[in-house]
A and B are shown apart, each in its own frame.
Chain A
Amino acid sequence: MTRAVELTLPDGLVAVVKRDCPTCQLVVPVLEELARSEALTVYTQDDPAFPEGLDPVDDTSLATSFALDLDTVPTVLRVEKGKEVGRIVGWSREEWQEFTGRAGLGAGLPPHRPGCGSKTQDPDLVAARTAAEGAARLRSRRVELGTHEDEVEAMFERGWSDGLPLVPPTPERVAHMLTGTTREPDEIVAVVPPDLVECNVEKVAINAVMAGCRPEYLPVVLAAVKAACTDEFNIHGVLATTMPVGPVVIVNGPITRAIGMNSGGNALGQGNRANATIGRALQLVIRNVGGGRPGEVDRAAHGNPGKYTFCFSEDEQGSPWEPLHVSRGFAPEQSTVTVFAGEGPRVVVDQLSREADSLARTYAACLRTVAHPKTVIAIDAALVIGPEHSRVFREAGWTKARLHEELGALLQIPGSDLVRGAGGITEGMPEGFADSVLPKFRDGGLLIVHAGGGAGLFSEIIGGWAAGELGSEPVTREVRT
């Protein structure tokens, strides 16, 4: 704890106590004895009336206790000319006698009793105090609500919400959120489209509070904002498109375990606070800082439920392969966020394939239909492989590269199947492509990730959007505290 205020203490002896401490109660007769012969000032942390008869100073605000940086009560200080010159804690007759220079103190008491924790050590109070101190340095506009204004309704009315209730971003909560990072509140994180606004750490923290994040998630949110607001990812286009895509946030590395993200059962679903609120915080930054709102720059014809939040971590420990971030050039011990412009996930059911080749054919058949069975090269996809499926590849000794290679071969499609009119479907490629063979995905247009529960012979496909330079490139950024 930092000492928030410089104190001038009354000369003589100063004792700090609380009623809730049996040792403090035990030493009351000793304090009374000392008060009869010299100046003694008693500060009380919990009950302003305790101890009776010693005219205690109310320190229930703990201002003095924090300033004294107390660990233990009772604490007794010797003060000369307003400055502390010595201190003892707890009760020890020998120590107290030596400290006060008085013999025969507390004759009826046991010789020794340890003290109790000072109220300043209460973790909730410490957090609240840190928050109060931090709140003072925040620079965002203060929005004062009316006396009769309901705070949750007020946030809806101001257009801050994605449609679900928000946690009110009070200065204290935002300051507490900022304890999750070592960065200064005014450090610029990114320039956020569509309004191209410089966004600092404080604004991200405000939106993270509203989303329901804990402070330890903030570094992940910051990395997600950085990744989404790059030219390559093109969040402006992801917003403006009539297609149903949004940023899908895939988190890798040690931080996923440290903050309790879910990569197992229901990884893509509800119920895990980190998964749910990190993805939501990113969307709120884009909405509130960038100004990207549905019906305005967001022109999605349908959208998808993942636009509230779509964030999960990779099951790295259960995977037969190197994790996504390692495939993308990072070290295993680094933590990263990868953003992918994706629609809602859909299941690949294959409960019979026990051979890698057969399961790869299932994947190819399902991946073929992303966007449209005749769409080639233009749209990316992510394949989220569940543990019961990955086991098939593990047992067959297939590497991730091998699976990519086999899928690439299976997804070479004859132009005659792709052209307009083929299969009685008007949609398709121009007639000139009839004699060519085209790949379903461009190079690097298929991401493979490992996640899901231990039971269920399923995987998931997340369809993408306009691929690469013409639209969006998946982007990975390191999570830094």
Chain B
Amino acid sequence: MTETGKILLDPTAERTAATRERTSRPASLDGKTVGLLDISKARGDVFLDRVQEHLEQRGVKVERFKKPTFTKVAPIDLRHEISQKCDVVIEALAD
């Protein structure tokens, strides 16, 4: 059953999981811009419209974004634009 010191070849990409530090949450949204990212899933817009209403009532600046399709990762230009314009992002993930 056991073979002493048997050598196997690693079938993986041999990458230790890249751990990235999360950006700390802002203490408040005062003066911040919140991005709302619609991934193009059905009714995601309904949820984000309501979130936008709530944020704007509090005087928070909102920017809306939309992925071309939910089946693929966001295009790099869109990700860049969000990172330039926003301090915080809310993404509507599922139906």
Contact = CB atoms under 8 A, between A and B. Distances in A.
Nearest to A241: B71
Contacts of A197: 13, 15
B7 A171 contact: yes
A147 B11 contact: no
Interface in B63-80: 69, 71-73
Contacts of A206: 9-11
Contacts of A137: none
Interface stretch (A11-19, A73-81, A148-156): A148-156
A10 interface: no
Contacts of A471: 69, 71
B2 A148 contact: yes
Contacts of A150: 1-2
Nearest to A470: B69
A138 B1 contact: no
Interface string A268-312: 000000000000000010001111000000000000000000000
Interface in A131-161: 138, 140-151, 154-155, 160
Given A150-B2, A241-B71, A471-B69, A142 B13 contact: no
A141 B6 contact: no
Given A234-B71, A471-B69, A289 B3 contact: no
B94 interface: yes
A289 B69 CA distance: 25
Interface size class of A (residues with CB under 8 A): 35 or more
A470 B9 contact: no
B71 A289 contact: no
A234 B70 CA distance: 12
A144 B13 contact: no
B7 to A, nearest CB: 5
A145 to B, nearest CB: 5
B4 interface: yes
A466 interface: yes
A174 B8 CA distance: 9
B5 interface: yes
A481 interface: no
A411 B82 CA distance: 42
A283 to B, nearest CB: 12
Given A237-B72, A241-B71, A242-B94, A140 B14 contact: yes
A135 to B, nearest CB: 9
A140 B69 CA distance: 37
A236 interface: yes
A170 B2 contact: no
A138 B14 CA distance: 14
Given A195-B13, A197-B13, A145 B71 contact: no
B12 interface: yes
A289 B13 contact: yes
Given A149-B2, A234-B71, A470-B69, A170 B12 contact: no
Contact of A160 (B4, B7, B12, B69): B12
The B contact surface, by secondary structure, is: loop
Contacts of A203: 11, 13
Interface string B1-31: 1111111111111110000000000000000
B13 A291 contact: yes
Contacts of A219: none
Given A150-B1, A291-B13, A470 B71 contact: yes
Contacts of B71: 234, 237, 240-241, 466, 470-472
Contacts of B72: 234, 236-237
Interface string B51-95: 000000000000000000101110000000000000000000010
B48 to A, nearest CB: 19
Nearest to B1: A150
A145 B13 contact: no
A24 B50 CA distance: 92
A264 interface: no
B18 to A, nearest CB: 9
A450 B30 CA distance: 64
B11 A207 contact: yes
Nearest to B95: A242
B12 A236 contact: no
A376 interface: no
Nearest to A173: B9
A284 to B, nearest CB: 7
Nearest to A175: B9
Contacts of A290: 13
12 contacts: A148-B2, A149-B2, A160-B11, A160-B12, A169-B9, A192-B13, A206-B11, A234-B72, A237-B72, A242-B94, A470-B71, A471-B71
The 10 closest A-B pairs by CB, nearest first: A237-B71, A141-B10, A197-B13, A140-B9, A288-B11, A206-B11, A471-B71, A470-B69, A143-B8, A288-B12
Interface of B: 1-15, 69, 71-73, 94
Given A147-B5, A206-B11, 10 more contacts: A140-B10, A140-B11, A141-B14, A144-B6, A145-B3, A151-B6, A168-B6, A197-B13, A199-B13, A236-B73
